[in-house]
Structures are given as C-alpha cells and as structure tokens.
C-alpha cells in the first residue's frame, strides 16, 4: 500500500526534567509502560519489550478494552543517547501491506528542562495521521504527568 508522502505530523512538548531523563522514559520498558497510553483511562500498556540499540526492535502491547489487544512494533534506525531516537512504527491494526511510518524524537535542553520534538512521516491515509496525532498527544499528556 503506498504511503501518502506529503503527510507529516509534528508535536512539540516541554517537560520539567533533563533531556536524559525524558530520553530514558522512551527507552526503558518500565518507564515507557507508565506513560504509553494513547487513550488514558481506556487503553493501558500491558507489555513493553525494547532492544535499545540501532537495529534493535521493540514491541508494545496495549489493552484496548473488551478483551482486545493492539500491538505496535518497530525498529530503531538511529539513537543518540539523550538527544535523538529514530524508529519505525507499525500497528497490528494497519493493513498488512502498509509500510511502517518513521518517527523521530529529539530532546533539547532548555531552561525549563527539555523541549521534545516528535515528528512522524509515512502515513497511508489522512485518517491514520489524525488517529496518530490523537494517540501520541494522549501519550505525551501522560508523560507530562511524570515530568
């Protein structure tokens, strides 16, 4: 399935913690499980496996209610400790022939703590982009509760 090439999602947030702390919240499974919920109160992260190295893979399992689960998988393309993470992302609910999207998370030290810029490209529909925006914002709201 072709990717809608002109689609780009950018979300910026500020967290009151050093970049290394926010970076670790992405890369350490025990921390990621605490905030990775696209719909707080309705969806929870039940499993999180992360092989935190370039070429390493991750798998996140979400309980989406009514006995159903959603699984997100991807591979790390680039990692700069405390500064940047680049990874692919594909949900089990996407069409089998859909290409994974590519996400970049950048962490920058500012007076208040960390300015995080999240960029995702490679959506196969406008609806997917809209759903991803909603889901990531839910996750980032939960991350804000930690930092």
The structure's pTM equals 0.90
Query: Which residue range is the domain that position 35 belongs to?
Result: 4-146
Question: Tens digits of per-residue pLDDT, 87-132?
Answer: 999 887 655 666 889 999 999 999 999 999 999 998 878 888 888 9
CATH of the domain at 136: 3.30.530.20
Residues 41-59 pLDDT 10s: 888 999 999 999 999 999 9
The structural domain count of the chain equals: 1
Contact 99, 91 (CB under 8 A): no
Q: How far apart are CA 96 and CA 141, in angstroms?
A: 30
Pairing mode of beta strands 4-15, 113-123: antiparallel
């Amino acid at each position: 399935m072709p990717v809608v090439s002109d689609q780009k999602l950018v979300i910026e947030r500020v967290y009151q913690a050093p970049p290394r702390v926010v970076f670790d919240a992405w890369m350490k499974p025990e921390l990621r499980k605490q905030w990775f919920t696209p719909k707080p109160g309705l969806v929870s992260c039940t499993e999180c496996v992360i092989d935190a190295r370039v070429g390493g893979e991750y798998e996140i399992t979400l309980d989406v209610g009514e006995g159903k689960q959603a699984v997100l998988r991807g591979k790390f393309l680039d990692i700069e400790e405390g500064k940047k993470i680049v990874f692919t992302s594909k949900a089990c609910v996407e069409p089998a022939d859909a290409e994974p999207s590519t996400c970049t998370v950048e962490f920058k030290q500012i007076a208040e703590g960390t300015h995080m810029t999240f960029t995702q490209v490679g959506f196969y529909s406008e609806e997917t982009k809209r759903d991803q925006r909603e889901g990531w914002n839910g996750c980032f709201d939960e991350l804000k509760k930690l930092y």
